[in-house]
Structure 1
Amino acid sequence: MLDAAAAVFAAKGIASSSVTDIAEAAQLTKGAVYSNFASKDELILALMDEQVSQRLADAIKAFEMVPDLNVAVQAIGHSLVAAIHADGTWQNLLFEYIGLARRDAEMREELARRRRENRAAVARQITRLAEARGVELPLSAEELTVTILAISNGLAMEGGIEPAAVPDDLFARLMALILGPALEAE
């Protein structure tokens, strides 16, 4: 169902898609969709949660596979930018949903709640990885998480408009600037 929803949203956008469209694409009834998700918004948010979880898992894997911290940060950066270039659909949906939520208090509140949960999950992993490597972070894990998300979303936006504007190593270079002292101590 999530795959069908992602395909429908990618083709038509969030605002122009309906639960009926998603049910048809998934070869289900509308009732079957509603038995799993209370609304189209809940379905979109589930897609976003799935994407965040997958990107976090990919980043952790890239980081843990490389013993050298500098190389690990570059591996994460390349992984993230490759994901941005490979499939902009998820970013487009996030940006569209943010635009819709800015005008709807209930949507905005639920999006904010989920983003807080996602940021907390990322911050926990940053803390765990920093402690495992004995690295002193230049910002709190929470602040570093917000910074990473802001930069990656900004790069995704720019890359979605003009892919050549976002070189494959740009995110890694930015992280190296932010993490500079921690990387030098390694």
Structure 2
Amino acid sequence: MSRVRTRPTRDDTRDKLFEAAARVFEEQGIGGASIETIAAAAGFTRGAFYSNFKSKDELIIAMLEDHVEQSIGRIRDLLERHRNLPDFLDALKSMNRGAQDPLGRSPLLHMEMILFVARAEKRRPELAKRLRARRKLVTDIIETTARNSGKKSVLDPTWAGALVLALEDGFRLHRLIDPETTAPDSFFRAIGDLQRAMGISAA
């Protein structure tokens, strides 16, 4: 009879540390949260933390990387199933961004972590790498949906991707700061306006 594995895998451990860190960061702040508290919240020892991450900064970088990878994976899956822009946007609106992703459930913590990393200039290339990956994703979406619509965009796709990403980040921040005057669908309304300006509206 085969033995049942009871010890968590490395991925299981990392996922639990991500979830625990998100809770602790929200409760105590990123700067005030200790490695011991994060490990305890995940049900692990301090040694288990250090077997996965060298420092709290490395944990944060890994959480941001995991968030971007999960987001890109989910959105590319959507694009495979919905290759024209109206259908893709409808699917994107209903996508569960928080599934197995603590930063997807907490946009404010996500931004706080980005700013925390950005304070250290030597860490900014880590953020830049993920920003470029997000821009490429949006550029690919624009190129694919424009091609499938049979229309050529009047804007350079790379520049259009940068615009779309800036709109998303900007409206997310505005929504956090002033939800009363920033409607939940502000980003998608802006995308509709940009879509028409680019000449790739649905026929």
Alpha-carbon distance in structure 1 between the residues aligned to 2:188 and 2:148: 21
How far off is 1:111 after superposition? Answer: 1.9
Instruction: Give matches, 1:168-179, under 5 Å.
Output: 168-179=184-195
> Residue 21 of structure 1: CA displacement?
1.6
Contact 1:2 1:47 (8 Å CA) reproduced:
yes
| 1:160 equivalent among 166, 176, 181 | 176
Report the CA distance between 1:119 and its aligned residue: 3.1
With a CA cutoff of 8 Å and minimum separation of 6, indicate the structure with the bigger relative contact order: 1
Are the equivalent residues in 2 in contact too, given 1:8–1:22 (CA < 8 A)? yes
Percent of matched pairs sharing the same residue: 32
Q: CA deviation at 1:64?
A: 5.0
Instruction: Give the Cα–Cα distance (whole angstroms) in 1 for the partners of residues 151 and 106 of structure 2.
Output: 32
Q: 2:112 aligns with which of 96, 101, 109?
A: 96
Gaps of 5+ in 1: none
- Give the alignment partner of residue 33 of structure 1, picking from 44, 49, 68: 49
Give me the CA root mean square deviation. 3.1
Q: Distance in 2 between matches of 1:143 and 1:154?
A: 16
TM-score (norm 1): 0.75
Over residues 119-174 of structure 1, what are the superposed CA-to-partner deviations in whole Å (9 max), with x where a residue is unaligned?
Answer: 33443454445445545334444323322222112111121123233323321221
Matches within 5 A, 1:76-95: 76=92, 78-79=93-94, 90-95=106-111
Query: How far apart, in 2, do the equivalents of 1:67 and 1:47 lie?
Result: 30
Instruction: Give, as a single letter, the amino acid of the residue that structure 1 aligns with 2:25.
Output: F
Give yes or no for the alignment of 1:43 onto 2:59. yes
Q: How does 1:77-156 map to 2 (within 5 A)?
A: 78-79=93-94, 90-156=106-172
**Aligned in 2, Cα 1:11/1:45: closer, same or farther, shift over 3 Å?**
same
Structure with the largest fraction of helix: 1
Choose the corresponding residue for 1:24, options 37, 40, 49.
Answer: 40
Q: CA deviation at 1:107?
A: 2.3
CA displacement at 1:182 relative to structure 2? 3.7
What are the superposed Cα offsets for residues 77-119 of structure 1, whole Å, 9 maximum, x if unpaired? Answer: x347x859xx876422232234334432112232223322343
**Stretch of structure 1 that moved more, 131-140 or 22-31:** 131-140
Partner of 2:86: 70
* Offset at residue 23 of structure 1 (A): 0.7
